[in-house]
């Protein structure tokens, strides 16, 4: 499976930081830093050959945006999706939450395009707006998909916070039954000598919008406000008794608030999942 470049991903994070810095310090829904982030991501994907859409919708904070990008190859009847939210809270630039997932998914999309992959299935990405206001963008997207289109989505993979400064390696546990993607993530990390824990994320991110339609979902997470235990520090390193991300939803969630080892492991997992599932044969069902 591919080696997704952590150097390139870090450069995308530098871009998100600079967008926030020049737009009042955040990338929050309804604020100019969110629109600037969406425009920038869309332009990168356009230049790489994706078919993109900027979907706008209204929220309590003003207009917000989803960027949808499809690789124009592969069977339109079997769609594999990956996504991440592109908005921050208004308190800060949101570099770990969720510049990290956005940059990682973007770099994976660019690597897929650069490899000119002959995809069996359709590959589509979603960069969601207004997750921080209650999964508004991802819900808007699924609610506006005709049911015939919903039925074609075989899998949705979500990445929200993947470079926490005191990282854990969590795999979402709150998935519908019969979903091999969750187990494939665990197997991938195990093969890389990274231990994982399952976590019930309680619908706290955008996969919940897909899951509520019965679409199989999976995802990873490096931890937020919860405290790392000594058992977790023993297997993952870092600091026991401290939060996975002490800057969660704060102004200090800046470009300094990242663990690049976590980021690199996580983006390679994204690549592994995308390369695997775009080739999966879904003709006889999931
Ligand atoms: N969605 C939460 C946020 O953006 C973070 C989170 C991600 C929590 C994944 C749990 C699992 O604030
Ligand atoms: Zn692989
Ligand atoms: Ca890598
Ligand atoms: Zn958040
Ligand atoms: Zn988040």
Residue 194, pLDDT above cutoff 90 = yes
What confidence tens digit (pLDDT) does each residue in 37-93 have? 999 999 999 999 999 999 999 999 999 999 999 999 999 999 999 999 999 999 999
Looking at the DSSP bridge assignments, the partners of residue 126 are 68, 83
Residue 251: Cβ within 10 Å count: 13
H-run or E-run covering 269? helix 260-277
Distance CA 246, CA 225 (A): 6
Distance 234 CA to ligand 5 centre (A): 26
The packing angle between helices 6-21 and 32-47, to 10°, is: 150
**pLDDT value, residue 170:** 98
Q: Which residues contact 89 (CB under 8 A, 6 or more apart)?
A: 26, 28, 97, 132, 249
Residue 85 CA: nearest ligand 1 atom is: 4
Determine the longest span between alpha carbons in the chain, in angstroms: 51
Sequence-distant (6+) residues with CB within 8 A of 78 are 120, 121, 122, 152, 154, 282, 283
* Token pair for 6: 């952590």
Is the distance from CB of 133 to CB of 61 less than 8 angstroms? yes
**Is 80 exceeded by the pLDDT of residue 20?**
yes
* Full-model pTM: 0.98
Mutate to test the pocket of ligand 1, among 160, 163, 199 (most ligand atoms within 8 A of CB): 160
Q: At 83, which helix (H) or strand (E)?
A: strand 75-85
Q: What is the pLDDT of residues 197-227, one digit of tens each?
A: 999 988 899 999 999 999 999 999 999 999 9
Average pLDDT over residues 239-261: 98
pLDDT confidence of residue 283: 86
**CA distances (Å), origin 260, targets 13, 40, 59, 92, 280:** 11, 23, 33, 20, 30
Phi, psi of 88 (to 5 degrees): -110, 175
Q: What residues flank ligand 1, with Cβ below 6 Å?
A: 97, 131-132, 160-161, 201, 204-205, 221, 224
CA distances from 222 to 118, 158, 191, 244, 260 (A): 31, 13, 18, 7, 12
Work out the average pLDDT over 127-135. 98
Query: Which value does ipTM take for this structure?
Result: 0.95
The confidence band for 1, taking pLDDT boundaries of 50, 70 and 90, is confident
How many other CB atoms are there within 10 angstroms of residue 193's CB atom?
A: 7
Percent of the chain with pLDDT over 70: 98
Q: Where do the domains of the chain lie, and which CATH numbers do they carry?
A: 6-277 (3.40.630.10)
Q: Cβ contacts of residue 233 below 8 Å, gap of 6+?
A: 239, 240
CA of 108 to the centre of ligand 5 (A): 19
268 pLDDT band, cuts 50/70/90, is: very high
If phi > 0 it is left, if psi is from -120 to 50 it is alpha, else beta; for residue 186 that is alpha
Nearest CA to ligand 1 atom 8: 204
Peptide bond into 98 cis (omega under 30): yes
Could you write out the DSSP letters of every residue in 168-230? --EEE----SS-HHHHHHHHHHHHTT---EEE--TT-STHHHHHTTT--EEEEE---SSBPPH
Residue 286: per-residue pLDDT: 67
For the chain, give the mean pLDDT. Answer: 96
Which residues are identified as catalytic? 131
Closest by CA to 101, choosing from 228, 258, 278, 275, is: 258
Distance between CA atoms of residues 36 and 20, nearest Å:
9
> Rounded mean pLDDT of 121-137?
98
Residue 178 pLDDT: 58
pLDDT at 176 over 80: no
């Amino acid at each position: 499976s591919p080696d997704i470049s952590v150097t390139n991903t870090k450069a995308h994070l530098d871009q998100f930081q600079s967008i926030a810095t020049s737009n009042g310090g955040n990338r929050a829904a309804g604020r100019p830093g969110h629109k600037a982030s969406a425009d920038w991501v869309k332009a990168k994907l356009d230049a790489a050959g994706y078919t993109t859409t900027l979907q706008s919708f209204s929220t309590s904070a003003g207009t917000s945006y989803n960027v949808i990008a499809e690789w124009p190859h592969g069977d339109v009847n079997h769609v594999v999706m990956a996504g991440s939210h592109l908005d921050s809270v208004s308190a800060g630039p949101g570099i770990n939450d969720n510049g990290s997932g956005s940059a990682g998914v973007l770099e994976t999309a660019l690597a897929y395009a650069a490899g000119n992959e002959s995809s069996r299935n359709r590959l589509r990405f979603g960069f969601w707006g207004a997750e921080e206001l209650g999964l508004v963008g991802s819900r808007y997207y699924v609610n506006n998909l005709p049911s015939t289109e919903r039925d074609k989505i075989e899998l949705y993979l979500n990445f929200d916070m993947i470079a926490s400064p005191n990282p854990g390696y969590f795999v979402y546990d709150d998935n519908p039954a019969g979903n091999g993607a969750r187990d494939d993530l665990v197997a991938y990390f195990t093969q890389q000598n990274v231990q994982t824990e399952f976590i019930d994320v309680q619908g706290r991110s955008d996969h919940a919008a897909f899951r509520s339609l019965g679409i199989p979902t999976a995802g990873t997470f490096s931890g937020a406000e919860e405290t790392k235990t000594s058992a977790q520090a023993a297997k993952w390193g870092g600091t026991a008794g401290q939060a996975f991300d002490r800057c969660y939803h704060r102004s200090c969630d800046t470009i300094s608030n990242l663990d690049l080892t976590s980021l690199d492991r996580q983006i390679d997992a994204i690549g592994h999942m995308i390369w695997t599932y775009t080739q999966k044969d879904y003709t006889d069902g999931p």
